[in-house]
Every structure is written in C-alpha cells, then in structure tokens.
Structure 1
C-alpha cells in the first residue's frame, strides 16, 4: 500500500470474519484510491492499533464479536479518541440495535452487504463522516490559533453584531464573552468614532476588502484608548477585526 497522505482516508476495520474483512478492504480500496484499510480481528487488537498508530480517520466495527462487542469497543474508543468517527457495521438488523447504537453515540449504523452498490454506499457514508470530522478538527485548530494570538481578534456578522471575540480582544475592552457576543460593534466606540467608521472605514472596506488605521476604542468601564485596527471582509458579509492598543489617551 501507498503511505498515508493528507487526503487519504485511513480506515480501521474491526471484524472477526477475516474473509469478509478482506472483501471490505479490497472493495473500498478499489472504489476509491483514497481509502487505506487496515483490518484487525478483534476489539482488543483495534484498541492496541489505535495506541500504536493514532492517525486513524474512522473506525468501522462489527457488532457481534467475542470478548468485546462493537458498542463496548465504541465506549473504549471514546475514552481516548472522543471525536474519531465510529461506524457500526453489522449483519444484525433491527430497530433495537440501531437505537442502542445511536443512543451510545455511534456516528453511523450500516447493515452489512456484499454487492457493488452496497460498497458504494458504505464508502460514501464513511467519506461523509470523515469529512465532517476533519472540518470540525480544522475549525478547532483555527479557534485555538485565534485564542493564542497576542492581538485582539473578533468577527462581526453581516448584521453588525459580534459573533466571536478571542480572550485578548475581550481583555482589551474589559468584557466577558457572554456580555459582548450578540451586541452591536458600536458598543465599543465613542459616538465620534462610530461616525468615522460608518462614514469612512466601512465604505472603504466594502470597496477594497480591507482597511487599516487607528481609531478610538471604548472600554466597558467608560475609559477610551487609541487602537490600531485592521478590518477585512469574510465570506457572507462578515468582518474580521484585529486590534492592538496603540497609545493611551484621556479623550
């Protein structure tokens, strides 16, 4: 097999039926070159594999296995990999098993099959869960980067209200996140600064996509300060604003 790449889907398939596991692996890899399937014969082996090689994108697990069934494996996996997609793949049908699986937090539940159409569906649903998890992981990484930034960063929605502000931004203006999110951006500026922003800054951003300069910020305690500010447009009409304290003022 080729080494894993960024776009590969690294699937850990757990099934005590070795012949069926081989069929699944070959069928998925033939369907799409992105699949890299590793098969193990028990839940215990799956846990060992995750310890040795945590870079797995999805677990596809049989339900009825000796020693530890698929739902018991799910519970163990969630302890160390809470966001790892887990698909229960079983020959046993019925609403009772499906309800139990969903109640235990499985990401998807699929009954086994052997037709080409079945493996097409299986591959598509695994891809969907992996794409969802990767998007959530990327979003979390970006959020952590924003929170770690030394600059104050906020996002204002198309209606002019705060949708997000990092800790540095909140500290700069003296607010808790719950006090600011949902509020209009005008709350953090003097009347004169609001007029300047509405007259000069926002039209410039609308035309050029960004603006940079200085302005007067208004803290929660009523004091003001000179701020260095950059404003850029995001998709959907949102604005990302980056602020640092430029110079204290008694205005």
Structure 2
C-alpha cells in the first residue's frame, strides 16, 4: 500500500532567520560596495572586516563568510584554512578577481565552500546573495535534521538522510544494521545502493517524484543488504527544503 500526504505543513527547520554574513576585503571602498549591495536584501545582515586575521574573532557569530583572495598577510585561502579549524562546515564564499584556474591547486574540495568572480558588481552582487542564501539554507536544514536525528538515534525506526547530491549524509544505527552495515559505512554512498535495481527505478518514478511535489510518500520497499539478501520494509520518504530526502524505515518483514 502506498500513501501520499501533503508534506508542506509538516514540521521543517525554520530558514527565515536573518543570515549573518561576515565580509572580508582589504579594499575599504569595495567592502563598502559589498555591504551596501547585500544590505538591500532584508534577510542579510552584514558585518565587515578589512583584516583577515581580525575576522577570525567573529567566525563563531556568523552564518557565512565572504572573503577576497588577494589580501596582505593572510590571503583568502589562508583565512579559509583557519575558519575550517574552528568551524568545519561554516559556509564560505571566496569572492575574488582571480580566476579559479589560478587557484586550482589550492582551492578546497569542500561542499561548504564556493568560488565567485567579482566581475561587474551589477551582475556579481545578486549572484553572491543567492550563493549565500543557498549555502546557509542547506547548512541550517542539515543542522536541524541532524539535531532531530540525534534525538531519535535510539528509536526503533531506521532513519537515513540523503543530501541534494543523492548521497547519504546520515544514517542511524537501526537503518545501517538492517543493511548489515555500520552508520559510517553508508556515509557518502548513493541512496540507490540500498535497493535492488528494479526497486530503484520504481522509487525514482513514484516516491521521489511525489516528494518533489511537496508530498510525503509511504509504501513498502524492497531493500538489499550488504551481503545481497533482500528484505521488505514499510518506508516513509519526506523532502527537506534544500532538496534533501529523509528515508524512515518503520516496519520490516523478512
């Protein structure tokens, strides 16, 4: 049996709080331009700093860092390294006149870090605002989901969170054990590896499409454990605001 429920009214993380943004640039005039442009957006609260080392004192108080690259003393990537020591997942936008090719060897492979050329301010500033919102919304959603999932880690339901890229970002012990794995074994795997191929096709055409339309999907699913054995479980699939999915394995019948 498959049920479809409107998920719009379901409890979801609030993403409407003002976004605190720290902008770092050694050029005071350009920093003033960034502040003036971003401050036009009601949901963005801007603070500025011309010295990258001094900016580190404010990292714990903001939702996102926007930094120039070419600065005296500590450059933008040096600042990024120091920020990551304090906050491994804090959204960070390197906003610079340099090209990404010029920084390729040093630029981090990090989903919480993005690159944006300064270019024409009329074009670049709206894009910058959008990048900040997207990174912060994703970060807040994942934090809220992780807090909720931590609270139910000991519950009987199996829970797995799938990020917007289709890979599992969190699985509780119940979910992992049903597949013959540890939670860390599932991290980074595509969600499709948990199901037989024909079940993946069915889920993509039914459950995933339903969730994309802001509905919750409930139905029986065939899972494939790590040793190749299959089992059937009643499952709920729900979407989060950033495109993530939550699989909740509620009942099983071998």
Q: What is the TM-score with the length of structure 2 in the denominator?
A: 0.58
2: CA distance, partners of 1:94 / 1:182: 36
Q: Decide whether the 8 Å contact of 1:58 with 1:85 is kept in 2.
A: yes
2: CA distance, partners of 1:95 / 1:165: 36
C-alpha deviation, 1:155, in angstroms: 4.5
2: CA distance, partners of 1:39 / 1:74: 16
Deviations 1:2-39 (A, max 9, x none): xxx95211111011111211110110111x10010100
- Does the alignment pair 1:102 with 2:86? no
Q: How many residues align?
A: 182
1: CA distance, partners of 2:51 / 2:28: 10
Higher relative CO (Cα under 8 Å, sequence separation at least 6) belongs to 2
Q: Decide whether the 8 Å contact of 2:24 with 2:50 is kept in 1.
A: yes
- Does the alignment pair 1:17 with 2:27? yes
Q: Decide whether the 8 Å contact of 2:77 with 2:107 is kept in 1.
A: no
- Report the equivalent of 2:44: 35
Q: Decide whether the 8 Å contact of 1:89 with 1:109 is kept in 2.
A: yes
CA 1:112–1:145: 2 relative to 1, 3 Å: same
Q: Decide whether the 8 Å contact of 2:100 with 2:115 is kept in 1.
A: no
The gaps in structure 1 that reach 5 residues or longer are 157-162, 185-208, 211-230, 244-251
The gaps in structure 2 that reach 5 residues or longer are 1-14, 161-167, 187-192, 197-217, 220-233, 240-245
Match 1:115 to one of 101, 114, 121? 121
Deviates more, 1:33-42 or 1:114-123: 114-123
1: CA distance, partners of 2:53 / 2:250: 49
1: CA distance, partners of 2:75 / 2:175: 48
2: CA distance, partners of 1:26 / 1:165: 42
Higher helix share: 1
Q: Decide whether the 8 Å contact of 2:93 with 2:116 is kept in 1.
A: yes
- Does the alignment pair 1:60 with 2:66? yes
Q: What is the TM-score with the length of structure 1 in the denominator?
A: 0.59
C-alpha deviation, 1:239, in angstroms: 4.9
2: CA distance, partners of 1:118 / 1:39: 18
